[in-house]
Amino acid sequence: MPDKAKWTVLTYIAAHNNLDPLGRKSLLEIIGVGSTRDVVHGVLYDGLAGAGRYVAGEPGKAVTQERLGSFDSGDPDGLIATAAWLFGAHPAERYGLVLWSHGSGWEPSEIESVAKEARPGAKAEPEESKERAVAPGSRALFRTTLRSLLEPAERAERAILFDDGTGHSLDTVELARVAGAIAGLVGRPLELLGMDACLMGNLEVAYELRHAVRYLVASEELVPGHSWPYGEIFGALNPAPDMTGADLARLIVERYVKYYTARPPAAGDVTKVALDLSRAEGLARAASTLAEALLAGMTAQAAVLWAAQQQSQARETRSGKRNPTKFDYHLWDLRSLAAGLGESAAASGPVRDAASAVVQALVPGAGAVLAEGHRGDWFDRTGGVSIYVMPPGTQRLAQAYATLAFAKDTRWDETLSAYHQTLV
């Protein structure tokens, strides 16, 4: 290996759950691709039988293989330490991180274990753990997030707090901290962050990460358990080490959508977006201008926004027949919503103008969106980026949402509050 590679990429596989065999498949696929003189691939794999970390050598072999035994892959500090281990040993011009995580949520046994940590001495509640395992908040990316949602002593309070995780609000803050810490370790932003996990193609997530990551690849919908086609993606990177982060981000979108178009997953969900986070502020400004236009006339515009939400939900769930879906988690495709507002005869002129500007800002190549891909005509109006819009009358707005940089820097939070007060 040279003193400095072109790329060093860490794939962090948190599969200590019912995705264990699929996580092992991804591990073997990456080792099968191997590393080159210019591209180094490292993997942290945490499964039911324990954890290990690996550095791929020639195809099919690992030059480094360390058994770690029990390892908490849901601990953000464990991720930071793993990045320090790989990136410190294999410095590179560009660093990539792929998070392969709890795409099907936390299992009851894991939730019960975290509950014991969150409430020492409290009696375990297996019934609640089973309920939590299928609840939106069970998809929390980090164990620290899940722990905070399970801390209150009273179950009724936990039910409220658990809903605060449904917009990825808490995980977004933790993810930004982790990415910032890793960027600090290597002395520059991560060239690419890939989210092989559900629902992370989200404007709030992108905005929070904009200083620590250059390019983000994620899905606004669910990710199939079989995950990314690593053989095709890393197999294309290895012989082209001068590929930039933007190039690799576009490649991932293209190969992912092509792979699952040929092998449709059972739920039908295939969405992927590549974002240039240096331009995330421009997209956020467009969304904020739309928020201001809605807020200025909320008494009349609330019904227009609600109609746009209903139209989007009907289209993207095929009139409720396609489940599960992001609509269970209160994240809505921004382009679909904006297009509905822009086309509404009941929308005010400022709302239509601002909505049209949002649609334009989501055109690939025009701003933050480098590439967007999907499978299924029910996604044809989507733009690859979701935003938090809790439907009125369902649950209260997530309290943690106000802590996000996006909420602080735009008027989206105020608009959602006014929206709920108007329609509820």
| Domain range annotation of the chain | 5-104+169-280, 281-423
423, amino acid identity: L
Q: What is the CA radius of gyration of the chain?
A: 21
Amino acid at 87: F
E strand map for 88-138: 92-100
Peptide bond into 120 cis (omega under 30): no
Range in 111-120, 134-143, 287-296 the model is least confident about: 134-143
pLDDT band with cut points at 50, 70 and 90 for residue 392: confident
Task: Check residue 202 and report its DSSP letter.
Answer: B
What confidence score (pLDDT) does residue 163 get? 66
Question: What are the CA-CA distances from residue 24 to residues 19, 28, 52, 72, 314 (Å)?
Answer: 9, 6, 11, 17, 37
> Dihedral of the CA atoms 137, 167, 45, 229 (nearest 10)?
120
Structure tokens at 214: 């250059």
Tokens 């040993």 correspond to what residue?
A: 89
Q: Which tokens hold the place of 402?
A: 């106000």
Give the global pTM. Answer: 0.94
Tell me if 95 sits within 8 A of 186, measured CB to CB: yes
Tell me the three state secondary structure of residue 193.
strand
Q: Model confidence over 207-217: pLDDT tens digits?
A: 999 999 999 99
What pLDDT score was predicted for residue 355? Answer: 98
Asked whether residue 364 carries a pLDDT value surpassing 60, the answer given is yes
Sheet holding 50-56, edge to edge: 62-69, 50-56, 39-47, 5-14, 92-100, 190-196, 213-218, 270-276, 369-375
In which band, very low, low, confident or very high, does the pLDDT at 123 lie, cut at 50, 70 and 90? confident
Q: Of 73, 65, 27, 74, which Cα lies nearest the Cα of 46?
A: 73
DSSP secondary structure code for residue 154 in this structure:
S
**161 or 404, which is more confident?**
404
Contact 115, 245 (CB under 8 A): no
Q: Around Cβ 399, how many Cβ atoms within 10 Å? A: 12
Q: Is the pLDDT of residue 1 over 50?
A: no
Closest CA to 286 of 216, 342, 210, 362: 362
User: Which pLDDT belongs to residue 194?
Assistant: 98
In the numeric block, the tokens 């059972």 are attached to: 266
203 class by beta-carbon count within 10 Å (0-12 exposed, 13-18 middle, 19+ buried):
buried
- Class (C level, CATH) for 5-104+169-280: alpha beta
